[in-house]
Structure 1
């Protein structure tokens, strides 16, 4: 076989393989976190921010929203998760960071006053917003995303623990559920996911 024919055959074979691979592709984007698009409802709540003002998802429309439940007296999961989110946001490209809002929803409204919640989130990152509200509204929101929370018995000083989910929910700029992240995920992988969502919204 001539060199020309061998080259032509190789090119045809390569083209066929490429076409086969393209045909097998489902067209979906690659995500490092768990893709839960369409599995849960769109983002919806009516809560209060650290200034005591009523907040709804429309107030941050167009932003990629990251939702995490917790409370300021949490000894471990909450501070480590918020520190993780700070580092993730830092690793995002500079031109995408301002299109991210992290919503830290306190499920301990008895202790987490707006002032206390404001001081707490300010310690971590300016992109993190503290929210809380009446217990019934918080339970409704938790149930909406298939989780719950509970209060332990108070000690002699009145202190108590709050059990809650450690899941990190990610919604796109239209408020649609997209991803579920965990803080044991490499920070750069989470940053890549958030940046991809931002750019997808802007495209």
Structure 2
């Protein structure tokens, strides 16, 4: 697969000691930042004529072919899912709010599909916390939502490249103690839909994932599209 060139920004270094931010304020700020980045990278458009609930990217471009590690530390590439609709998001297993809510909503969306449709859909959770999220930790976390979900991680440079390629960002924020694992991660909260032809087609803010019937409608529409 060809790749979408990442935008030229830098991902922050490991955490410096500072107070926690209000996650709600951060969410609003980072969604706006990512929306601008995606508009620059992909030309985000809401395509009312085709009736999609998510933000449609136009023109469609081949999705960046990430190479990360999944269960049993086996390499997993995006192009392995060619022929399926892939819904993926960035997060981390210690996330207190956005990640579990998003995955719970995606579970409801996935289970609302027919058994045949589920065979054509893959949900992927990509960690932005490689220090704590091992392949085993991720597998236990994502399969607690649905056994078919896959959790991926990798080295920090590889994760950084993947996040940037999709117009995202993240920031590690130190906690109140001096413990090395006492930190949180502020991160972009979009869910991306890659169509069965490997094109990045739709984007969803985390608040949209709760609209199960409309999410299901989008997925079914994407599965019906001609393959290219």
TM-score interval for Structure 1 and Structure 2 normalised by the shorter chain: 0.7 to 0.9
Which of the numbers 161, 167, 187 marks the counterpart of 1:146? Answer: 167
Deviation at 1:57, TM superposition (A): 1.5
Decide which of 161, 186, 192 is 2:217's aligned counterpart: 192
Normalised to the residue count of structure 1, the TM-score between the two structures is 0.81
What is the CA deviation profile of residues 25-51 of structure 1, one whole-angstrom value per residue up to 9, with x for unaligned ones?
x99532111111436652311100021
| Match of residue 171, structure 1, among 194, 213, 216 | 194
- Pair 1:156-2:181 in alignment: no
Quick one: which of 108, 115, 138 aligns to 1:94?
Answer: 115
Among candidates 59, 69, 89, match of residue 38 of structure 1: 59
Tell me the residue number matched to 1:49: 70
Partner of 1:3: none
How many residue pairs get matched? 178
Residue 141 of structure 2 aligns with which residue? Answer: 120
Distance 2:48 2:216 in 1: 22
**TM-score where L is the length of structure 2:** 0.72
Q: Which is greater in Rg? A: 1
Q: Which runs of 5+ in 2 are unaligned?
A: 1-46
CA–CA distance in 2 between the matches of 1:49 and 1:179? 24
Q: CA deviation at 1:59?
A: 1.5
Specify the alignment match of 2:29 in structure 1: none
C-alpha RMSD over aligned residues: 2.1
Q: Partners in 2 of 1:51 and 1:28 — Cα distance?
A: 44
Deviation for aligned residue 1:128: 1.5
Which of 129, 135, 160 lines up with 2:150 in the alignment? 129
Report whether the alignment pairs 1:183 with 2:206.
Answer: yes
Encode CA deviations 1:64-98: one digit per residue, 9 max, x unaligned. Answer: 01110000000010000000000011122332111
Aligned match of 2:83: 62
CA distance in structure 1 between the aligned counterparts of 2:201 and 2:50, rounded to whole angstroms: 11
Tell me the distance in 1 between the aligned counterparts of 2:223 and 2:198: 12
- Determine the C-alpha separation between the residues in 2 that align with 1:83 and 1:75: 13
Superposed displacement of residue 201, structure 1:
5.1
Kindly state the Cα deviation for residue 126 of structure 1 after the two structures are TM-superposed.
2.4
Which structure has the highest strand share of the two?
2
What displacement does 1:104 show?
0.3
Unpaired runs of at least 5, structure 1: 1-25
